Structure 1
Amino acid sequence: MLPALAKTRLSGDIKVWCAACSTGQEPYSLAMLMDEARAQYPRLNLDILATDISERCLEKAQAGLYTQFEVQRGLPITMMVKHFEKVDEMWRISPKLRSSIRFKKMNLLDDLRMVGRQDVIYCRNVLIYFDLETKKRVLEQMATLLADDGCLFLGAAETVLGITDAFKPMPGMRGLYVKNAAAQSAPLRKIA
């Protein structure tokens, strides 16, 4: 999605919301990927908002301090060495990347309008815990926040099918959804 968004974001800012970010691996991974793509997209900036309901998870995320096991899960060694520093038996994400992410406590069951318009929303592996009506409400609120050409990422065990018509899956891209035409240009309407 980065090349497509890079063509249309004249300001250079791409707003990304990591909903239910847990202990921060997802937003930090995105910040690392953007850092790696900096030469190709020098004018782009990811404005990353990472939210979670758990204060304990947010404290860990803000500290950016992880065990060897947590850091090595799927992260190439070259990126680990580049973006982390060893602190005793732990690894801390670089101050540059820590400062590039805004962490905030948020409940997905609340009014989400305070998040504002977003270009990309990651809401992975949290909807599986909600009943059907709650999933529908959360997804439809997210649709009103998402830019018309933006995208929504869900976890592998999650879908919008049979829940809401606000999104449609991208063929061949499991977990990636875009807004349906009927949901485009949706105002940030009042949520009941």
Structure 2
Amino acid sequence: MTPSTFAFLTEIVKTRSGGIIGPDQGYMLETRLAPLLKRESLADLDALAARLKAPRADALAQEMTELLTTNESSFFRDTRPFEHLRALLPEMHKARPAGQPLRIWSAACSTGQEAYSIAIILAELGEADASFKARRVEILGTDITTAVLARARAGVFSQFEVQRGMPIRTLMKRFVQEDTRWRIRPEVAAPCRFENFNLLGDPRRLGRFDVVFCRNVLIYFDVPTKARVLGGIAQILAPDGALYLGAAETAMGVTQALVPKPGERGVYGLAGSAEPARLRA
């Protein structure tokens, strides 16, 4: 692969997904794109670049982008954001008029573990409080990769996947075993839906959200792209809403529209907005 081919292919990925692939990651292109090269009978990445420069190569460019997108997820990842959410949702429920749904967005949802972790929390809160159980809650999971969205919709996970972060009692109660795999119970999965959405797009078409999880995504973006994504999220976040970022991510120095929640790491709200009284530091 020539340097010009590397630059051409990685620019396509950046333009389509926002992801940055560094000069030391050429191995990733070689490894992840090998099946695509074989299927298309292309000798190497230079031949792929030539194909992508030809007319009507959009579908191939999108497939390449999806193959080079990192899809990593686990249940209740890092724990603390989900503990905060468990305390936040009942307060949001009390602050909302009857009949108004709570809406939660799992951005870059990958294979759905994050969205289903949230759904499990909803089920537990509903079992503890009949009024919360009556509240309609919508969980939207989005991703740009078709294959992972299909897996998320299926709601079926391997033994390895459910062992990552899932308490055994929760697994036995919220999932059904099918041979060596586990399927989330329909009543738990009911609030969840999954659709294709690119974080470089306009999130306003998705509607307003009370809670947004956009975790471990910004680390793959440059600063201007981070600012663009966070600015879009700020536009659709409820005045007392919460944005959860990954442990290695921050909105500080990137946008003035979002500020940290007092006493919490990785949790942000709109600048100048209120939050439920019982959660104030």
Q: Same fold (TM over 0.5)?
A: yes
RMSD: 1.3
List aligned pairs for 1:6-21, cutoff 5 A: 6-10=93-97, 11-21=99-109
Runs ≥4 in structure 1, deviation > 4 angstroms?
none
List aligned pairs for 1:1-192, cutoff 5 A: 1-10=88-97, 11-38=99-126, 39-40=128-129, 41-181=132-272
Q: CA deviation at 1:97?
A: 2.5
- Amino acid aligned to 1:131: D
Q: Is the 8 A contact 1:6 1:12 kept in 2?
A: no
- Amino acid aligned to 2:259: K
Alignment size in residue pairs: 182
Aligned to 1:189: none
**Larger deviation: 133-142 or 3-12?**
3-12
Deviations 1:130-178 (A, max 9, x none): 1100100110111010010111000101100010000111122111101
Give 5+ residue unaligned stretches, structure 2.
Answer: 1-87, 274-281
- Amino acid aligned to 1:8: A
Distance 2:213 2:139 in 1: 11
- Amino acid aligned to 1:158: E
Deviations 1:36-78 (A, max 9, x none): 1103223323211110011111011111111111112121111
Q: Is the 8 A contact 1:15 1:118 kept in 2?
A: yes
TM-score by length of 2: 0.63
Distance 1:168 1:111 in 2: 21
Q: CA deviation at 1:12?
A: 4.9
- Amino acid aligned to 2:207: G
Q: Is the 8 A contact 1:68 1:91 kept in 2?
A: yes
SS of residue matched to 1:66? strand
Distance 1:153 1:69 in 2: 25
The structure richer in helix per residue is: 2
Distance 1:149 1:114 in 2: 20
**Larger deviation: 117-126 or 87-96?**
87-96
Distance 1:66 1:13 in 2: 28
Give 5+ residue unaligned stretches, structure 1.
Answer: 183-192
TM-score by length of 1: 0.91
**What percent of counterpart residues are identical?**
49
Q: Is the 8 A contact 1:53 1:107 kept in 2?
A: yes
Q: Is the 8 A contact 1:112 1:141 kept in 2?
A: yes
Distance 1:165 1:130 in 2: 18
Distance 1:68 1:56 in 2: 20
Distance 1:169 1:181 in 2: 11
- Amino acid aligned to 1:13: P
